Amino acid sequence: MTIDIDPLATAGLTARQVRTGERDGRATRVVIARRAYDTDHDDLWDALTNPERLPRWFLPVTGDLQVGGRYQVVGNAGGIVERCEPPRSFSVTWEMGPTVSWLTITLTEDDGRTTLELSHEAPVDPDFWTQFGPGAVGVGWDLGLMGLGLHLSSGADNDGAEAQAWTLSPDGVAFVRASAEDWAAAATADGDDAAAAQDAAERTITFYTVMPEGGDGSAS
């Protein structure tokens, strides 16, 4: 599916918030993204939880998708399904190597549209936060929410290689920049130094939009 969107308008569809938290005595930061979609509870819930549909816009997910079961996003994080209240909310651990964080999805329907709230809470690594801020996680989720919107509006399958290549295009860079700068503003609103937050946003933009050394300009 060709990605043909207004990058700034699409980035603006998501409201972003950063909160300071605590879990089990450890300091955490929480990134929260909210976006409304022109579909109902049941359709959005199916897109988020149906293992046959998830690869059409996100990534394949394997495992036991029941409370207490362990899942694995292929090539990405895995974890445990901690809570599920269909078709409104679920919570999972989000485990990358030794790092455990917590993801909660909540759906609210209003007048034929459904708002998705994504809340991702993680322990604070001060060096990593200084380097990238909330955008390291937030921009990735924003790209996912964009892909979900494209799938819901068209019914078509997203092409992962095309999506990866798109982030290197002028439109992709514009989307990533708008997302990262808004996450920096959200971090500043939560108490971070504004200049440091913007510096972190610039490093995040580079991470998402610059071809790694040895890359050939094509996604694989």
The residue-averaged pLDDT of 17-37 equals: 97
Residue ranges of domains in the chain: 7-209
Candidate CATH numbers 3.40.50.300, 3.40.50.970, 3.40.50.2000, 3.30.530.20; the one for domain 7-209: 3.30.530.20
Contacts of 100 (CB under 8 A, 6+ apart): 79, 93, 94, 123
Q: What is the pLDDT of residue 215?
A: 52
Q: What is the pLDDT of residues 52-97, one digit of tens each?
A: 999 999 999 999 999 999 999 999 999 999 999 999 999 999 999 9
CB atoms under 10 Å from CB of 158, counted, come to 18
Residue 207's Cβ-side half-sphere holds a number of Cα atoms within 13 Å equal to: 16
Model's pTM, two decimal places? 0.93
Q: What is the pLDDT of residue 112?
A: 85
CA angle 62/67/68 to nearest 5° reads 85
The answer, yes or no, to whether residue 1 has pLDDT greater than 80, is no
Listed residue (141, 102, 70, 60) closest to 92, CA to CA: 102
- Paired with 87 in beta bridges are none
Instruction: State the residue for tokens 């440091």.
Output: 196
The C-alpha atoms of residue 2 and residue 64 are separated, in whole angstroms, by: 33
Q: What is the pLDDT of residues 133-190, one digit of tens each?
A: 999 999 999 999 999 999 999 988 888 888 889 999 999 999 999 999 999 999 999 9
> Alpha-carbon torsion 14, 17, 18, 24, what sign?
negative
Q: What is the DSSP letter of 211?
A: P
User: Do strands 70-73 and 15-23 pair parallel, antiparallel, or not at all (unpaired)?
Assistant: unpaired
